[in-house]
Amino acid sequence: MPDQIGEVNTAFETKPLLPVGPNFARFTAQDIPDAALERIIEMARLAPSEWNFQPWRWIVVRGESARQQLEASTLIKVPLSSAPVILICLADSMAWKSAPQHLQEMVAKSKITEREAHSTLHMLREYYSASPEVARRAARANTFVALHQLLLSAAENGISGYWVTEFDENRVKTFFHIPDNFVVAALLPLGYREETIVSSVPSLPLQSLVYKEKFGETLNITQ
């Protein structure tokens, strides 16, 4: 195991760090109460997911050395360790294996028939087991829905946060003993900002982002 960690670190150190913008601000030393953190994560738990698989898992990192380890794992210059709490956002690529339980719950609620459940289970097993990468992408996509809900909940509780996706995943998984079937989707520092960040003004008008019926067809929207 030590040799593997050394190999990961050596490969990581050769990569140049990318500069970042002002949104990656430092946080104050003020801690986040457990009750507030629980409220925030509870909202993420309630996020919708495909077949209600809920593939997301969260590691709450408060220890200083562990937070520094996460900052050292990033591929961008970001004051990650200044946050009192960093959430490691995980996506379970094997969550689809819980399909039998969810389908039986739907049968019990008369949402589908036994025959439909059997047919759907066969389809899901064939779809996901045929391509592990498809399972990883689906789990990550569902997890980011929960991630967005978590950040909205944090803002409602007066807590700032952002996500980081540029990091050495192998290094993070090794240090935090994360199983192979989990994808490290993002790192989420949470805390109280050291300075006020002025929100950037969107550069593209709404009309340039929305089309009518076909791509490129202008949709007139009253703002």
Q: What is the pLDDT of residues 92-102, one digit of tens each?
A: 999 988 888 88
Q: Residue 200: is its pLDDT beyond 60?
A: yes
Say if residues 89 and 184 touch (Cβ distance below 8 Å): yes
Is the pTM value of this prediction over 0.85?
Answer: no
Secondary structure (DSSP) of 110-171: TSS-HHHHHHHHHHHHHHHHT-HHHHHHHHHHHHHHHHHHHHHHHHHTT-EE--B--B-HHH
What is the reported pLDDT for 190?
Answer: 96
